[in-house]
Structure 1
């Protein structure tokens, strides 16, 4: 997309690369229509190619279906198509003139909780689907609780299959009230409700003629206009060093830049900063990007920071503000979602922790409780975490980590555990 001077009063040129990116995930019970919703969104927004449409049309005919099954646009695995369910997280990409989108279509089955956690971990918005005939189910509550644990900033409850309840406003209001009562117990700040029919296309891209009683936005309008700029933490300055840039050529003979992705706050040229773990302070001499030097940088930009003094920094270290520092500790409390299907969590077991750009070893010091993510009950009797279980765990790391709570910063507040023998990712954690 190009914006020309004729329709841009500021005489600036906005390229497609500058368009804001929104990530959203889907969640809901089995057969609530998550994949159909995404297929409808892609189809109605003209974001699929003709050959993709023809392939889905042929597949639908082979299955003996009367209508084109738009869910097949996302259920790409053969086993998923055969069973008519989503198994793994399916990522899809599309764009409109206003925004670029990355969709994570997560499974609805209870045994795929870990997949939902993976798909939703970076989302700005979570779409929770509810079948208008069945209302709020156990899986609905489960997924809302996970969205709350993951601190997803925006929640959209899509009451789907309204065509099967004759677009009944009273039924929509009943479901909305029931979910609102449940959500009042959760840590969710922004909840919106939209009555839809993914199969018929009501309120997806185009406003429904069958539900003229609904005065809210269509789903695409909401996704294009929801405010996500403040979803990043612009207060607590955090810059985990990923790589030290030393070109060693004549053009950049003395260049020493610290490259990485800004995890929080705003860094400006001339700012006083502190280097962790040494605690030395210095000033920012220069900030470089792929497109050249800039005066300031903020999340989620990837930059190279140069400092005035010749001080030592390496991968895993962090640049912060002297008066705004992260927590530093070797004892870290996390809410862990266990991924490994072969082995449960091992008390005193040793694992590798990946946190921002840091890699350290740790042991499981304590399992405080297992969380029942249907009721939020804390089970302190059974503390064994198996695949898809979530629990509060204390880790002891071999060296201090620099972190914030997950509530404060989703980047510096998250980590993953790696099994040292298999090299498998066995858990994802949210620091408390």
Structure 2
């Protein structure tokens, strides 16, 4: 048997095909004193930093040598290499560790180890052949074969196989949902909880109250600020015991709607880019770092257009939505009027979106929102079918505190408009 280390090519492909590409730090930023040095990849999200170590190994072996025991031995060797590398790198960054302990920061840090194991066969009859080994780990593997250092939860190396991690990314879709799962996974490791493999743990996470608690906490803040009246009943039901069937159905709907959202969102980015007016990276970052539940709620309001009466479609209408990931993010959804003379027609809204966002900012002063987005929704008939295409416009404004005199002016304008 011979071991050959391979390049980072599979990992680069994984990064390029998902949201991680947006958050990968360039080399000049990775070497900043604020970051741990020596990791293969670093990703900076709004609420977390992920450090990645990767180990791609190509095993040279005859077919007769390969069995379950041998694959387990190879997996153990691959993971042990990662564990040793992480321990050495982490200790070399001792000054940063001390600084982080002393600093008051809410930004989470995760250390991820990814492994890829392929076997290359060479024999006289079939010649050369190779294949990737599909596998997962589970808690038993780390209890018996590769003992992780669990003394400090914040420094735990969370190990996944390449195939398994790609599947996790495909199911969780967003940075906020990924980091919430990583926190859940790390807690399972540090508490010595038993789980068969990472796929079953992901399924358990998606069915558990842990997934929906963020949305519930944000809604509780909205209630405290008198912006909504109650937590959504379906969220409360999804976290109740013995509601697995309901939680599964809700998750399936969320994942479907999230897929629809990203199709819309990617078409907007492409359209803006082709027009020479790309959406600023800061706004793309905020919108990508939402939660699946937020996307699902936005898409639900778009799909509800089919049930609206003709007057609403003709004159246009407005719906409001809040982020379910972070408190302080508001979405003003304007469904464009079919009547070109309406103040809510696509042309008029594109000209007056600043006024609409400013009015929304005035209404949301207690508390002031961090970010205000106007989503313009337009339905157009397809030229080659009976279907309808949806086009999205995205406008942004940072929330701001207005003074009393400006507030009185807006109140007076509102009174005058009401008298017209």
More helix, by proportion: 2
Report if TM-score (shorter chain) is over 0.5.
no
User: Max radius of gyration: which structure?
Assistant: 2
Q: Normalising by structure 2, report the TM-score.
A: 0.29
